[in-house]
C-alpha cells in the first residue's frame, strides 16, 4: 500500500520550527530515522540541590518525575546513607519495611498508569479507563498514609517521615485484595486478545545486544533477556527478606514489556502483603544530625529501571555535587534503534513502550524525509495507531481478505 | 463578545501544554477524565489541536526551551481563550525559580485567567477551580 | 572481579578505594580511560550505569559508573582532568552508543570536550543558551 501524502494539519509552515520531542523521519510508511530532542523538562535540579540542605533535597528530587515520585528520593537518601556505610547501618527496621511498601505501591500505580496509556495509544480506551480506575484506590492509599496522592514526602535521611498506623493496615490489605482480580482481568485481556497480540508482538523489538549496547535498564532491559533488577542485585529496603521473583522475557518486543509490567504488579502485591505481615514495631527515624564527608551512591529499581544518585559531601550541611540519572535517560535513547524500521502506526506504542513521561510522548512529529515536510503530530499518530487496531479487528472478525 | 463567552462556558475544549513539568499535574489532568471524576460528562474535552481550544491548561516551571513553544501555541489558539495555570510550578515556578534554566513565571509571559495551585492539585481542586472560572465568566455576561 | 581488574590494568590504577563491600572506586589516568572502559564493558561484561562530572578546585573530575549486575557490586572509575582551561578526554561512545547522551550532557554542563564523540552537540540546554557558559562549573565560590 503506497502511502498518500498527508495534507499538513494545522498551521505547520515548513519554516516554523516547532520543537518536538521525537521527530520521526519517514519514507512512505516506514520510519527511517528518529531525532530525540530533550531538555524541555530540564530545570537545573542538580545545581539547585547544591544550594539546599541535605534534608531539603528530597522535596526537590521528588519532583524530577511525578510518576516515580518515591524512587528519586529513595535513591537520594540511599546515596547519603551510603556515606555511613549503607542503609542497613542506620535506618531502623520499621522504616525499612515502610520504605519498601511505599516503593512497591508506587510500582503498582506506575505500571497501571502505563497500562492505561498503552491502551489509549493502541485504541483500547476501555483499557485506559479501567486501568486508571483501579489506580485510584492505590492513590487513595497513598493519601491515607502520606497525605498526598502524588509526591509523598516520605523519605528522609535515616528513616521515613510518617508512620503507617495500625488502623490503616486493614484498608491497605483490602485495596490489595481488590486489586488482584483486576490484575487478572488485565492479564487475561492482554494475553488472550488476538488483536492486542497482533499489535504488540514482534513490534518495536530491542534485541539483547542492542539492549546491552544502549545500556538500558528496567522492564525495557528485562524484556530483551537481560536479567537485572537492583532490588535483587543490590538489595535495599527489605527486598532480601521477602519472597518475590524477577520477571524476564526474551523477545524484546512490546508484548514482552507489557507482560513484564503486569506480572511485576502481582509481585508487588505479594511483597507488600509480606511486608505488612512482618512489619515490626519500633522507631521510624534515626534522627541523623551530621552528614560525614565523602562520596555516596544510591540506586533503586524505579518502575522504569535503575535510578541512580551520587552525592559528594564535604562535611557541611549541603551536597557539593549531586548527580542524578533517571532510568528513562538510558531507555529513551534506545528508541533510536527500537522505533527505526517500524511503521508510523506503530510509532506511538513503540516510543511509549520504554515508559517515558507522558509529556515526552505527546510531543511527536512525523517528517517526510524526502522534502522535510512535517506531516503529522502526536495526536495524528495516535489516530493512525487506532486505525491500525480497527483494521486488525476487522480482519480477524471477517477472516483475512 | 458576550455571546462568545457564553458559548465558551457551555462546553469547554481544553488543550494541554507542558512547559517543563514533572508530569504530576499532567497526570492529574488526565485523571479528571477517568471514571471517578469524569469531566467529559460536562462537555470538557481534551483535544489534539490548539486551533479548536477554548482553554489552555498550562503546567510546568517555564523551562527556557519550552517557553517559545508555549507562546507559539498561545498565538495559534483562537481568541477568546482562557489560560489556566495548573500547579504551583505554573503559578509561581515553585522551588525551581532560582534555577539557571527558568526565566519568568507564566503570568509574566501570558495573561492568566485561573490559578490552580497544588503539587499536584487534586482533581477535585481542578474541578473547583474551573467551576469558579466558569461562574465568574458567566457573571460578566 | 577485583583481581581481574587489578591484574589487567596493573600500574594504570593510580588509586584503589573500597568504601564498602559493594562500592569500589579506582583512579586511572585520563589517557587510559578508553582502554579501561573497553576492558570493563567488553571483557568483564559490566553494565555502564552513567558518568558524573564535577568541578573541583584543582581539576575536573569524571566518574564512570559500572554495575556488575550479577554480584551487585558497583565500580566507579575516576579520572582527573587537570587542564581546566582546555579540558578534554577521549570519548567512550565509539565503544557503545549508551554513552552518547551523558557525554553530551557533561560537555554542555562543564565544558569538557570528548574527543572522537560522533555527535557532540547540546542535549538539554536551549539553542539560545550562551556559548562558553557552563552551568555546573563553580564560579568564584568561597
Q: What is the pLDDT of residues A34-77, one digit of tens each?
A: 888 887 778 888 888 888 999 999 998 888 877 777 889 999 99
What does residue A112 show for φ and ψ, rounded to 5 degrees? -65, -40
> Across the interface, which of A39, A295, A308 has its CB nearest the CB of C50?
A308
How far off is chain A from C68, nearest CA to CA, in Å? 9
Phi-psi region of C16 (alpha: psi -120 to 50; beta: other; left: phi over 0): beta
> Across the interface, which of C63, C100, C122 has its CB nearest the CB of A333?
C100
Q: Which of A36, A396, A22, A21 lies closest to A199 in space, CA to CA? A: A396
CB contact under 8 A, B64 and C135: no
- Model's pTM, two decimal places? 0.91
Task: Of A87-96, A325-334, A391-400, give the range with the top mean pLDDT.
Answer: A87-96
pLDDT digits (tens, 9 = 90+) for C77-122: 999 999 989 999 999 999 999 999 999 999 999 999 999 999 998 8
Q: Which of B127, B132, B138, B129 lies closest to B41 in space, CA to CA? A: B127
Determine the topology of domain C2-115 in CATH. Answer: Beta Polymerase; domain 2 (3.30.460)
Which of A215, A313, A325, A356 best tests the C interface by mutation, with the highest count of C CBs <10 A? A215
* Percent of chain C surpassing pLDDT 70: 98
The average confidence (pLDDT) of chain B is 84
- C118 in contact with A, Cβ within 8 Å: no
Q: Which residue of chain A has the CA closest to C23?
A: A297
- Report domain extents, chain B: 2-140
CB contact under 8 A, A47 and B95: no
CB contact under 8 A, B101 and C128: no
Buried b (16+ CB within 10 A) or exposed e, C69-88: beeebbbbbbbbbeebeebe
Set of chain B residues whose Cβ sits within 8 Å of the Cβ of A115: none
On the question of pLDDT at A325 being above 60, the answer is yes
Task: Tell me how far CA of residue A282 lies from CA of A97, A396, B90, B116, C47, in angstroms.
Answer: 11, 59, 41, 40, 38
Set of chain A residues whose Cβ sits within 8 Å of the Cβ of C54: 312, 320-321, 323
- A329 in contact with C, Cβ within 8 Å: yes
> Across the interface, which of A60, A69, A359 has its CB nearest the CB of B18?
A359
Which of C1, C18, C53, C97 best tests the A interface by mutation, with the highest count of A CBs <10 A? C97
Domains observed in chain A: 45-329 (1.10.645.10)
Residue C134 to residue C138: CA distance in whole angstroms: 9
Sign of the alpha-carbon dihedral angle for A49, A55, A61, A66: negative
- Report domain extents, chain C: 2-115
pLDDT (0 to 100) of residue A14: 33
Determine the topology of domain B2-140 in CATH. Answer: Rossmann fold (3.40.50)
Amino acid at each position: 500500500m503506497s502511502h498518500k501524502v498527508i495534507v499538513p494539519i494545522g498551521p505547520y509552515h515548513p519554516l516554523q520550527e516547532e520543537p518536538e520531542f521525537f521527530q520521526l523521519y519517514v519514507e512512505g510508511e516506514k520510519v527511517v530515522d528518529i531525532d530525540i530532542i530533550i531538555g524541555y523538562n530540564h530545570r537545573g535540579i542538580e545545581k539547585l540541590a547544591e544550594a539546599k540542605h541535605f534534608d531539603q533535597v528530597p522535596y526537590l528530587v521528588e519532583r524530577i518525575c511525578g510518576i516515580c515520585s518515591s524512587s528519586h528520593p529513595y535513591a537520594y537518601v540511599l546515596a547519603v546513607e551510603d556515606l555511613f556505610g549503607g542503609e542497613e547501618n542506620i535506618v531502623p527496621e520499621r522504616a525499612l519495611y515502610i520504605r519498601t511498601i511505599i516503593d512497591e505501591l508506587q510500582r503498582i500505580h506506575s505500571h497501571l498508569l502505563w497500562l492505561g496509556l498503552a491502551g489509549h495509544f493502541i485504541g483500547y480506551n476501555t483499557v485506559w479507563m479501567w486501568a486508571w480506575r483501579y489506580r485510584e484506590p492505590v492513590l487513595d492509599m497513598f493519601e491515607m498514609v502520606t497525605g498526598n496522592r502524588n509526591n509523598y514526602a516520605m523519605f528522609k535521611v535515616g528513616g521515613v517521615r510518617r508512620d503507617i498506623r495500625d488502623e490503616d493496615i486493614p484498608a491497605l490489605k483490602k485495596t490489595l485484595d481488590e486489586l488482584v482480580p483486576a490484575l487478572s482481568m488485565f492479564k487475561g485481556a492482554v494475553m488472550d486478545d488476538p488483536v492486542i497480540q497482533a499489535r504488540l508482538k514482534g513490534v518495536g523489538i530491542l534485541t539483547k545486544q542492542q539492549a546491552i549496547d544502549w545500556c538500558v535498564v528496567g522492564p525495557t532491559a528485562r524484556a530483551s533477556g537481560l536479567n537485572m533488577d537492583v532490588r535483587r542485585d543490590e538489595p535495599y529496603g527489605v527486598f532480601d527478606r521477602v519472597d518475590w521473583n524477577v520477571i524476564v522475557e526474551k523477545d524484546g518486543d512490546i508484548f514482552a514489556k507489557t507482560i513484564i509490567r503486569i506480572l511485576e504488579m502481582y509481585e508487588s502485591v505479594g511483597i507488600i502483603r509480606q511486608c505488612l505481615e512482618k512489619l515490626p514495631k519500633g522507631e521510624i527515624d534515626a534522627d541523623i544530625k551530621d552528614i560525614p564527608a565523602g562520596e555516596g551512591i544510591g540506586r533503586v529499581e524505579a518502575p522504569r529501571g535503575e535510578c541512580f544518585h551520587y552525592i559528594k559531601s564535604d562535611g557541611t550541611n549541603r551536597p557539593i555535587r549531586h548527580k542524578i540519572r533517571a532510568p528513562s535517560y538510558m531507555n529513551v535513547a534506545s528508541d533510536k534503534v527500537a522505533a527505526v524500521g517500524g511503521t508510523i502506526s506503530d510509532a506511538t506504542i513503540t516510543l511509549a513502550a520504554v515508559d517515558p513521561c507522558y509529556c515526552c510522548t505527546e510531543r511527536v512529529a512525523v517528517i517526510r524525509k524526502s522534502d522535510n515536510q512535517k506531516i503529522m503530530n502526536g495526536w495524528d499518530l495516535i489516530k493512525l495507531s487506532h486505525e491500525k487496531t480497527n483494521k486488525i479487528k476487522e480482519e480477524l472478525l471477517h477472516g483475512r481478505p | 463578545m458576550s455571546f462568545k463567552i457564553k458559548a465558551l462556558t457551555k462546553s469547554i475544549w481544553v488543550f494541554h501544554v507542558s512547559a517543563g513539568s514533572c508530569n504530576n499535574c499532567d497526570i492529574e489532568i488526565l485523571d479528571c477524565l477517568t471514571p471517578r471524576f469524569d469531566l467529559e460528562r460536562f462537555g470538557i474535552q481534551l483535544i489534539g489541536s490548539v486551533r479548536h481550544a477554548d482553554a489552555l491548561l498550562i503546567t510546568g516551571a517555564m523551562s527556557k526551551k519550552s517557553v517559545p513553544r508555549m507562546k507559539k501555541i498561545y498565538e495559534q489558539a483562537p481568541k477568546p481563550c482562557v489560560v489556566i495555570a495548573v500547579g504551583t510550578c505554573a503559578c509561581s515556578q515553585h522551588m525551581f525559580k532560582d534555577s539557571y534554566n527558568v526565566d519568568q513565571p507564566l503570568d509574566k509571559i501570558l495573561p492568566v485567567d485561573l490559578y490552580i495551585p497544588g503539587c499536584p492539585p487534586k482533581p477535585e481542586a481542578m474541578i473547583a477551580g474551573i467551576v469558579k472560572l466558569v461562574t465568574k465568566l458567566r457573571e460578566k455576561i | 572481579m577485583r583481581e581481574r581488574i587489578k591484574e589487567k590494568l596493573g600500574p594504570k590504577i593510580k588509586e584503589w578505594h573500597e568504601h564498602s563491600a559493594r562500592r569500589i572506586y579506582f583512579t586511572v589516568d585520563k589517557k587510559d580511560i578508553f582502554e579501561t572502559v573497553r576492558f570493563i564493558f567488553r571483557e568483564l561484561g559490566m553494565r555502564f550505569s552513567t558518568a558524573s562530572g564535577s568541578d573541583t578546585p584543582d581539576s575536573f573530575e569524571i566518574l564512570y559508573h559500572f554495575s556488575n549486575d550479577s554480584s551487585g557490586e558497583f565500580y566507579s572509575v575516576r579520572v582527573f582532568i587537570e587542564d581546566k582551561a582546555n579540558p578534554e578526554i577521549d570519548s567512550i561512545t565509539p565503544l557503545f552508543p549508551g554513552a552518547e547522551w551523558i557525554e553530551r550532557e557533561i560537555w554542555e554542563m562543564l565544558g569538557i570536550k570528548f574527543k572522537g564523540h560522533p555527535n557532540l552537540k547540546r542535549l538539554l540546554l536551549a539553542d539560545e543558551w550562551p556559548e562558553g557558559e557552563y552551568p555546573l562549573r563553580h564560579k568564584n565560590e568561597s
